[in-house]
Structure 1
């Protein structure tokens, strides 16, 4: 069988577009990411997304059952990689919880800042509060719980009561996601510098003394390097 006949047959295109190297489903997501963040979710139709990818509108429904499904896939994709990192770091019990918390925060910020479009800004859409996005909220809640678990394992966190621990977890998680607004206000901000500064600030919120930050930062960076 020749390569041309062994390839998966896709849905017909309305017009030929230059090869992007992406599968059609990923092309739809890439186009939607651009349109949702530049023109707005409400103002973007499935027809516009299909036209941007060169697909017929009917063909787009082969991959997604509608605009909400595309949005759900986009925002779920912003939290699943961070949750995988969080699970790995929670399991690294031989390392200091403070260093693991620093590593999670730094990596989470970098993941939120990756790519040309600020997809985290889509969290703020009122549509995202509906039941259709329950999976996103579940994954995000698991990620937040990992922050709380690491915080509880720190020396300052171990001394906190349940209510104070929950409050500081909210503050840590909110700090990390605040980069969404920072990036929207200043798209040119260096993601690496932002990630390090945010992770440092997270440890200060956790109650880690300033004198320990440099050492824990180095340990956190080693943990992340070991994942590559």
Structure 2
């Protein structure tokens, strides 16, 4: 059943200057904010500066967002939601009881999310002015939801020895931290406006390392890789596929 939602009214006015690109004004604001937050910090960036980068009045920005905090939450969600939205699909489409493949595939999807998000906004996790702020609490719930998905799958594949040493919550956090190494990898700048790309072998290595942390044997890791790589495109609807 479809539901109709009513968009709350916002102060300010819509865009004052003509759009110079194909992206919506809202997306252009998010893009400019991501670039500025990552390059100079959240606290050091004003809504006026974001508006100037987009080419709109500050009042027009407030038509789309209530303020800087709302922009930040939306950007943080872009680094998590594309993965959390696919957790149930992964569980439902992976062969029954093949939890190693499900975990491997979850890692690959998460790596792609972090690798593709504009301006490497995952870097915002590392900024004290972000993580120490009240606005981060709202995002933390979604981040913990993803960690719980990792913990749930890990509970199905982890060896007894591993589970004797750490709690499931700790294990889930260990796995998500392993995946978020992608953020630091992307931070290795090639040029001012280009970040390092994450290769398929690198993504496979991250996924394999997550299964090793759980104590999964190498033969099962290889089997999970073979199935997960074949399934991956079905979970990346927005990806522009290369011609065969």
Tell me if both proteins adopt one fold, taking TM over 0.5 as the criterion: yes
TM bracket (short chain)? 0.7 to 0.9
When structure 1 is superposed on structure 2, of 91-100 and 192-201 the one drifting more is: 91-100
Is this contact kept in 2: 1:33–1:119, CA < 8 A? yes
What is the aligned partner in structure 1 of residue 220 from structure 2?
212
SS in 2 for 1:21: coil
When structure 1 is superposed on structure 2, of 138-147 and 180-189 the one drifting more is: 180-189
SS in 2 for 1:139: helix
Q: 2: CA distance between counterparts of 1:163 and 1:155?
A: 11
Map Cα deviations across residues 21-71 of structure 1 (whole Å, 9 max, x no partner): 122111100111112222332322111110111110011111112112111
In structure 1, the gaps of 5 or more residues are 1-9
Q: 2: CA distance between counterparts of 1:218 and 1:95?
A: 16
Map Cα deviations across residues 80-134 of structure 1 (whole Å, 9 max, x no partner): 1110122222334615100010000111011101044110000122233333233
Q: 1: CA distance between counterparts of 2:74 and 2:232?
A: 26
Q: Compute the RMSD of aligned alpha carbons.
A: 2.3
What is the aligned partner in structure 2 of residue 196 from structure 1?
204
Is this contact kept in 2: 1:107–1:195, CA < 8 A? no
Say if 1:105 and 1:137 are closer, same or farther in 2 by CA, change over 3 A.
same
Task: Write 1 or 2 for the structure with the bigger share of helix.
Answer: 1
TM-score for the superposition, normalised by structure 1: 0.85
Say if 1:209 and 1:157 are closer, same or farther in 2 by CA, change over 3 A.
same
- Corresponding residue pairs, total: 217
Q: 2: CA distance between counterparts of 1:144 and 1:108?
A: 11
Say if 1:85 and 1:158 are closer, same or farther in 2 by CA, change over 3 A.
farther
Q: 2: CA distance between counterparts of 1:108 and 1:94?
A: 21
Q: Is residue 67 of structure 2 the alignment partner of residue 66 of structure 1?
A: yes
Is this contact kept in 2: 1:152–1:158, CA < 8 A? no
